[in-house]
Structure 1
Amino acid sequence: MIELKHVNKMYGQQAALKDLNLSIKSGQIFGLLGHNGAGKSTVIKSLVSIIQPTHGSIEFDGVDLATERLAIKRRIGYVADSPDIFLQLTPNEYWQLIGAAYELAPDYQAKRLDELVTLFDLNGKENETIAEFSHGMREKTMIIGALLSDPDIWILDEPIQGLDPQAAFDLKALMKAHAAKGKTVIFSTHVLDTAQEICDEIAILKKGELIYNGTMTDLLATQPTESLETIYLQMAGRHGNDAATMASEALTHE
């Protein structure tokens, strides 16, 4: 289980997270939802130790991340929202870097890469620079790197954005299979249909605050006659009808 306890994150006077409490069980696909700036990426970057909370704690199976950072990071496969710092590398160079960081045996790494590269259709692209790739191909490269060590915990920031339909289907299948083995998948998304399709539990954030935590079924049950989109917008943004009215008015004034 992963627990965030009273987590706050400040950037100067700006609060990115406000007293966040979450429990994420093993064997779950857990979705983080919210508008841009809601705090999803801040949660993910806190979980993978890119940033540290201003206050509060994060525990992995009862072990404090702040005191066992390296050991916990070895259990995590992480896909960032942008691969920009690796653009001058080739996929092979990037994957070799990941393999060295996780101290993977060469034979195991070669076998694992063969499986993942074939699955995500990157055969023949391994020695081109990542800068030459489309967004979707860059995303596939990062996903392969994250899954290379077969980590217990997958933490993925907008992993499906930009993927072609086949790659998106394959990644979702991998996520389901991973959770079915009793392991953990945490990912952020803007796509409500994806969250509804695969998440066991979700958290909705708004301006750094947790406004819903539970199953999608329970969320839909709060307003049985309304669509998921309408319920979400009522909670996390403007009401869907208000948004439609505003868009119509904006077009009228063009």
Structure 2
Amino acid sequence: MSPDAAAAPAIEMDGLTKRYGETTAVSSVTTTIESGTVYGFLGPNGAGKTTTMKMLTTLTRPTEGSARVAGQSITDRPAVTPHIGYLPEEPPLYDELTGREQLEYVAGLRELPTERARADIEAMLDRFDLADDADKRISDYSKGMRQKVGVIQAVLHEPAVAFLDEPTSGLDPRAARTMRDTIAELADREMTIFLSTHILPVVEELADEVGVIHDGELVAEGSPAELAAEAEAGEGGTLEDAFLSITREPDAPVAEAE
């Protein structure tokens, strides 16, 4: 990483906006995420989470506003991509390859040193209980196994910022625990994790900061404890209470606690 990227905040968004015709998917999002932060990005379906992640990972260009990731403008894709890893909800995998071949292919694209990459791949395959299936074709993998390969290839090059979209989707409880432990370990190495998930206990456990997006707008930010405390003042008290309160439609009835 360049010195400028290392010194800059991990992610800076300034009025970031994306429109599709008459529809505004993301509206003027402005925030700063410091390096080494696990940032939980929450919102209902269709709130703008995936569109925001696609802009930050250079997969789609903003309509208005700007953003920088690892010190680089998101409109400069060659400058950004060496510093990021991205796990979409459906990992981009080649079904005709084996799990090991897929990861070696990605290591080659990233121009990682061969011996180190092989050692790292073997360690991660073992960590995610994929070693015994590493030489099977990905076409024969379950959703959970595909998800494991996806997260390994997203962080294999040790990016400054990892964008993880529903990383525990399709995982059994043991594998989900391994995923959470891995995210915590990556954060301990000062990797910034931009984490989108519907599993609120994962965010409560791992996130330093939480951002809630609703109808394309960033409507709340703070630590899980801060958002829960705000909910507690309204007779809530958990991150789930805060999320439900923040994203409740104005005319929707308030659910009563049992």
Q: Is TM more than 0.5 here? A: yes
Which amino acid in the other structure matches residue 236 of structure 2? E
Q: Contact 1:26–1:179 (CA<8 Å) still a contact in 2?
A: no
**1: CA distance between counterparts of 2:139 and 2:254?**
37
Match of 1:135 in 2: 143
Match of 2:86 in 1: 78
Partner AA of 1:63 in structure 2: Q
Q: Map of 1:28-177 to 2, 5 A cutoff?
A: 28-67=37-76, 69-83=77-91, 86-177=94-185
**CA shift digits 1:145-194 (9 cap, x unpaired):** 11211222111111011112222222222222222232211110111111
Q: Report the Cα distance in structure 2 between the residues aligned to 1:83 and 1:27, rounded to whole angstroms.
A: 24
Distance in 1 of aligned mates of 2:209 and 2:17: 22
Deviation (angstroms), 1:227: 3.8
Residue in 1 that maps onto 2:190: 182
Instruction: Please state whether the residue corresponding to 2:62 is helix, strand or coil.
Output: coil
Consecutive unaligned residues of structure 2, counting only runs of 5 or more, are 1-8
Of 23, 27, 30, the match for 1:14: 23
Deviations 1:30-63 (A, max 9, x none): 0110111111111111111111111111113443
* More moved, 85-94 vs 216-225: 85-94
Instruction: State the alpha-carbon separation in 2 of the partners of residues 244 and 65 from structure 1.
Output: 41
Of 170, 175, 193, the match for 2:201: 193
Q: Deviations over 1:92-138 (max 9, x none)?
A: 23212211121011101110011000000111322322222111111
Q: Determine the C-alpha separation between the residues in 2 that align with 1:196 and 1:117.
A: 27
- Tell me the residue number matched to 1:251: none
What is the aligned partner in structure 2 of residue 212 from structure 1?
A: 220
- Alignment length, in residue pairs? 243
Instruction: Tell me the distance in 1 between the aligned counterparts of 2:254 and 2:94.
Output: 38
Query: What SS class does the counterpart of residue 218 from structure 2 fall into?
Result: strand
TM-score by length of 1: 0.89
Q: Deviations over 1:211-252 (max 9, x none)?
A: 11111111111132314323211211359x94869xxxxxxx
Identity of aligned residues (%): 32
Of structures 1 and 2, the one scoring higher in RCO (CA 8 A, sep 6+) is 1
d(CA) in 1 for partners of 2:140, 2:247: 37
- Between the aligned partners of 1:182 and 1:113, the Cα distance in structure 2 is 21
Q: Which runs of 5+ in 1 are unaligned?
A: 246-254
Which structure 2 residues correspond to residues 223-234 of structure 1 after superposition, within 5 A?
Answer: 223-224=231-232, 225-228=235-238, 229-234=240-245
Task: Note the C-alpha offset of 1:27.
Answer: 1.4
Aligned equivalent of 1:3: 12
**Contact 2:94–2:102 (Cα < 8 Å) also in 1:** yes
Letter of the 2:110 partner, please give it: Y
- TM-score by length of structure 2 reads 0.87
* 8 Å CA contact retained: 1:7, 1:56: yes
Say which is worse superposed, 190-199 or 179-188, in terms of deviation: 179-188
The alignment yields a C-alpha RMSD, in angstroms, of 2.0
SS at match of 1:99: helix
Change in 2 beyond 3 A, CA 1:10/1:107: same
Q: Distance in 2 between matches of 1:33 and 1:184?
A: 16
Letter in 1 for 2:129: D
In the alignment, the residues of structure 2 paired with residue 21 and residue 141 of structure 1 have an alpha-carbon distance, to the nearest angstrom, of: 33
Cα separation, 1, equivalents of 2:148 and 2:106: 15
Of 236, 242, 253 in structure 1, the residue corresponding to residue 247 of structure 2 is 236
Quote the offset at 1:84 in angstroms.
Answer: 5.7
Q: Residue 100 of structure 2: SS of its match in structure 1?
A: helix
| Alpha-carbon distance between aligned partners in 2 of 1:138 and 1:155, rounded to the nearest angstrom | 17
